[in-house]
Amino acid sequence: MEQKEFRKFLLEQISLPREKWDKQFRDYAERKWSEKAVVREVPEFFEYEKRGKDLKRYLAGLDLTEEELKGKKILDLGCGDGNFIKECLDKKITEDVFGFDYRIKKEAVPSNYRGHLLYADFEKGPFPTRDFDLIISFAAVEAPSFSGEKKFPKKTLIFSLEALKEIGEIRIFPIRKSHPQSGLLGIEYSRRVWAEILKELESAKGIKWTITPIDIKSSGRNKDVWLEELLVIRKK
């Protein structure tokens, strides 16, 4: 099955209650669970290996290729250790790449990455730099949960739109989806919040957006399964 068809298949299956899942989907969900268990048991020892894996995870989740990043001005929101930025620089994918994170300590950043890894809280903008071709977030920009955890994705999106070129893109991964009968109430709540935010910005800012299935994830004692999707936003 081709990638596009397989992703459509995942979306169709996750929209069904568990008892109606196709055997192929059940087997795939079980494999995802098994892979997660293996990852927990095998630590990553070498920094260069971790960087390479992080770059691959970013590209897969954000549905991008290295070729598509070349020459682009890129901002990574919530970049953590900055492995994506470091790999882009070291592999000469692009020299115009930056990462924001409130945990970054300037004095701890190696000299060859300074100016690229910046201390900034992307929820409190406006951003110190702008005119980006691509603004990305991998597991950092999230909607608030019904547990009351404070997150401000709408503010982040407004700051991002202000810092984005007219023909640029914002890519956020993951946006999660589950079946209403799955019992994953946090995912359902987050999904509704995202829908409200996007509808509001569509009306107020004229944005265009799409949500595309990428892959499923399995976790928890009950081997809960949900779909992880990619949100792409353009100004028009």
Buried b (16+ CB within 10 A) or exposed e, 50-79: ebeebbeebbebbebeeeebeebbbbbbbb
- Does the pLDDT of residue 43 top 60, yes or no? no
Beta bridge partners of residue 99, listed in sequence order = 76, 117
Instruction: List pLDDT tens digits, range 182-203.
Output: 999 999 999 999 999 999 999 9
pLDDT tens digits, one per residue of 196-232 = 999 999 999 999 999 999 999 998 888 999 999 999 9
- Domain topology for 33-234: Rossmann fold (3.40.50)
In 3D space, the residue among 77, 72, 94 whose CA is nearest the CA of residue 152 turns out to be: 77
How confident is the prediction for the chain on average, in pLDDT?
A: 92
How does pLDDT run across 122-145, given as a tens digit for each residue? 998 889 889 999 999 999 999 877
Sorted by where each begins, the domain ranges of the chain are: 33-234
Question: Exposed/middle/buried for 149, CB within 10 Å: 0-12, 13-18, 19+?
Answer: exposed
Count other Cβ atoms within 10 Å, centred on residue 91: 13
